[in-house]
Amino acid sequence: MTNNKHVLTWLDEMVALVKPDKVVWIDGSEEQLKALRDEALSTGEMEALNQEELPGCLLHRTKKNDVARVEGRTYICTKNRDDAAPINNWMETSEMKAKLTPMYDGVMKGRTMYVIPYCMGPIGSPFSKVGVELTDSIYVVLNMDIMTRMGQKALDQLGDSNDFVRGLHSKADVDEENRYIVQFPEENTIWSINSAYGGNVLLGKKCFALRIASYQGFKEGWMAEHMLILGIEAPNGETSYITAAFPSACGKTNLAMLIPPEVYAQQGYKVWTVGDDIAWMHIGEDGRLYAINPEAGFFGVAPGTNAKSNYNALASTKKNTIFTNVAHNLDNNTVWWEGLDKNPPVNAVEWTGNKVNGPEYAAQGGKLAHPNSRFTAPAINCPCLSKEFDNPNGVPVTAMVFGGRRAKTAPLVYQSFDWNHGVYVGSAMASETTAAATGAVGVVRRDPMAMRPFCGYNMGDYFSHWLDMGKKLGDKAPKIFNVNWFRTDDEGHFIWPGFGDNMRVLMWILNRCEGKVDAVETAIGYLPKAEDIDVTGLEGEGVTVDTVKDLLTVDSALWLEDCKGVHELYDQIGERVPAELEKQLADLEARLAK
Ligand code: GTP
Ligand code: SPV
Ligand code: MN
């Protein structure tokens, strides 16, 4: 399929290491994919779902020990410790290779190696980048087909260049004690072993498009961020684009596909999805920041997705979708998860493969679907996919939004004073942990720019890079905001209705960018006047201007306490934290103490 000598030389080396029985190049053709699907069905690796209701859809269950990203076993390897540590797990490059090489030696004996050339970003875009993933998993091939532009076209894009990311994946024995997800940013290389789940093995996604790409962006002057990209089309037909970074399972897919509330829909506002997880951003010829989505599909959280919360995501899963770790409804051979509706299937197989009576199982507190069960859906299925999705130049970014799950501290929305203060706000992000990674759920931890698990280099250098981008962008820089959909009342219920109603907050953000609305200057930034968040139509849910007022309160004592957490983070990162951010933190504390 290619004469690229860099690809062929590396492939020979890897084949000599893992010793597969057979090597199969993935060309991306429908015949080849169909044969692979048939093989996965015949071995039981996948199950075919109801082909009338869910044409082309497949169900897959992973091993119980392999259901999420494993941050404790994810490494960034560089020559010098300080270039990746201390927020990342670090090991010196050759030491890690020496450790993993024996594990890879002969690991594909008796197996087939699939060679997957893939392109992150639209084919033909100057901002797209090519990777090649070697894997012994058909599940990976079929998912990469949905998530990336895969096959011959990716090799054509690469030509004879050496600029591609070398990914080696083996599910090996799916042994969690020997699971490693390793990035070598200085060598454009990824080694992943002993997992067969999502973000650990679809190497184009977190490993390349965030960890390796963030480092490439640092070196080359662009940004790779854990951000959704959405467009809001005004009644006059003009579309403004917003990117937003929320930690894993904190609402990017939902916000990216939101359906405008009646009050905006009536006026003719529309929302378009460009991306739901990752944005690559470059400075365009006009000096503005432009974003492309490097992915071609959505690897979305299933639980909580329903016709009301996220109609467009649900619609995206109705064909050619792979479901992982959801429940199987045997009555009609479809799928189910918590929050899809209130009727768990009676004749069900829960996500680990046991037959259960759904309502009884749920009544006993059992989860039919894993909390991090996911769908892999082609972006082209999405009813609100932006017409700019394949635009090689991307879309111009008007506003950037940070946010997370904060039960108390953060208000519904506020605007940073300027770019540098906005970088501070991103660096100080914190959020309650979710099921997207293994480990405790609901614990507040600092997650700068939602990139803690995904930054492929030193976090202090990453902050400096953000500040540098601001200098280059000057007055064309996007405005930076922070939101929080997750404030709770004394009983622990979310106060803000969220989902589609988040558009009310996005409209304030756009109005601010266009200079159409005033704000209140406070210690933490510019806050809306409560009456400027339109709550028309929310009366039925008991949401009024007073609710908004409540959501906009800022408790200085809580904030000062929170600043201690930022100090701890900065101390942990160490010397490379830019002086500018230390100053921003000190200034914030001074303002809060007044
Ligand atoms: P990753 O794919 O892990 O990066 O996650 P994501 O940021 O795309 O998260 P997603 O949109 O899938 O949301 C995860 C969970 O948050 C789901 O269970 C949603 O139901 C819930 N959620 C999303 N938006 C809101 C909101 O506005 N309010 C509330 N209360 N919950 C929300
Ligand atoms: C995340 O955890 O942020 C995801 C899912 O988007 S995964 O690809 O598994 O990392
Ligand atoms: Mn994500």
**Chain segment 536-559, per-residue pLDDT in tens:** 999 999 999 999 999 999 999 999
How does residue 230 score in pLDDT terms, banded at 50, 70 and 90? very high
Give the span between the Cα atoms of 318 and 51, in whole angstroms. Answer: 10
Residue of minimum CA distance from atom 24 in ligand 1: 251
User: Is the CB of residue 251 below 6 angstroms from any atom belonging to ligand 1?
Assistant: yes
Distance 29 CA to ligand 3 centre (A): 28
Distance 125 CA to ligand 2 centre (A): 25
Give the span between the Cα atoms of 387 and 12, in whole angstroms. Answer: 41
- Portion of the chain with pLDDT greater than 70, in percent: 100
User: Is the CB of residue 299 below 6 angstroms from any atom belonging to ligand 2?
Assistant: yes
Q: Strands, DSSP E only, in 28-179?
A: 47-48, 58-60, 74-78, 89-92, 112-120, 129-135, 149-150, 164-170
Q: Are 135 and 119 in contact (CB under 8 A)?
A: no
Tokens of 90: 């670090």
pLDDT the model gives residue 401:
98
User: Is the CB of residue 277 below 6 angstroms from any atom belonging to ligand 2?
Assistant: yes
Tokens of 165: 């990311």
User: Is the CB of residue 502 below 6 angstroms from any atom belonging to ligand 1?
Assistant: yes
The yes-or-no verdict on residue 436 having pLDDT over 90 is no
Distance 236 CA to ligand 2 centre (A): 36
Give the span between the Cα atoms of 27 and 48, in whole angstroms. Answer: 23
Average pLDDT over residues 283-296: 98
Distance 276 CA to ligand 2 centre (A): 11
Q: How far apart are the first and last CA of the chain?
A: 67
Q: Are 550 and 495 in contact (CB under 8 A)?
A: yes
User: Is the CB of residue 253 below 6 angstroms from any atom belonging to ligand 1?
Assistant: yes
Average pLDDT over residues 4-24: 98
**DSSP string over 298-352:** EEEE-TT--TTT-HHHHHHTSSS-EEES-EEETTTTEEE-TTS-S---SSEE-TT
Residue of minimum CA distance from atom 8 in ligand 2: 199
The ligand 1 atom at the shortest distance from the C-alpha of residue 303 is 18
The ligand 1 atom at the shortest distance from the C-alpha of residue 247 is 7
User: Is the CB of residue 370 below 6 angstroms from any atom belonging to ligand 2?
Assistant: no
pLDDT the model gives residue 501:
97
Report which DSSP code applies to 494: B
| Element of type H or E holding 83 | none
Neighbours of ion ligand 3 (CB under 5 A): 248, 277
Q: Which of 119, 250, 382, 455 is catalytic?
A: 250
Residue 77 annotated as catalytic? no
Longest alpha-carbon distance in the chain: 70
Q: How many CB atoms lie within 10 A of CB 79?
A: 11
∠ CA 362-41-170, rounded to 5°: 90
Buried-exposed string 339-370: b where 16+ CB fall within 10 A, e elsewhere: ebeeebbeebbbbeeeebebeebbeeeebbbb
How does residue 437 score in pLDDT terms, banded at 50, 70 and 90? confident
The ligand 2 atom at the shortest distance from the C-alpha of residue 247 is 3
Distance 514 CA to ligand 2 centre (A): 33
| Element of type H or E holding 496 | none
Residue of minimum CA distance from atom 4 in ligand 1: 248
| Element of type H or E holding 259 | none
How does residue 561 score in pLDDT terms, banded at 50, 70 and 90? very high
User: Is the CB of residue 199 below 6 angstroms from any atom belonging to ligand 2?
Assistant: yes
| Residue from 66, 69, 301 whose mutation best tests the ligand 2 pocket (most atoms within 8 A of CB) | 69
Buried-exposed string 95-111: b where 16+ CB fall within 10 A, e elsewhere: ebbeebeebbeebbeeb
Average pLDDT over residues 472-499: 96
Q: Which residue has the tokens 């210690």?
A: 523
**DSSP string over 508-549:** HHHHHHTT-S--EE-SSSEEPPGGGS--TT-GGGT--HHHHH
Q: Is 558 helix (H, G, I), strand (E, B) or coil?
A: helix
pLDDT the model gives residue 442:
84
pLDDT the model gives residue 441:
85
The yes-or-no verdict on residue 496 having pLDDT over 90 is yes
Residue 118 exposed, middle or buried by CB count within 10 Å (0-12, 13-18, 19+): buried
User: Is the CB of residue 273 below 6 angstroms from any atom belonging to ligand 1?
Assistant: no
User: Is the CB of residue 198 below 6 angstroms from any atom belonging to ligand 2?
Assistant: yes
Rg (CA), the chain: 23
Distance 433 CA to ligand 2 centre (A): 13
Residue 303's contacts (CB-CB under 8 Å, 6 or more residues apart) are 337, 338, 339, 369, 371, 373
- Portion of the chain with pLDDT greater than 90, in percent: 97
Distance 384 CA to ligand 1 centre (A): 18
How does residue 434 score in pLDDT terms, banded at 50, 70 and 90? confident
Look over the chain and give the mean of its residue pLDDT values, rounded to a whole number: 97
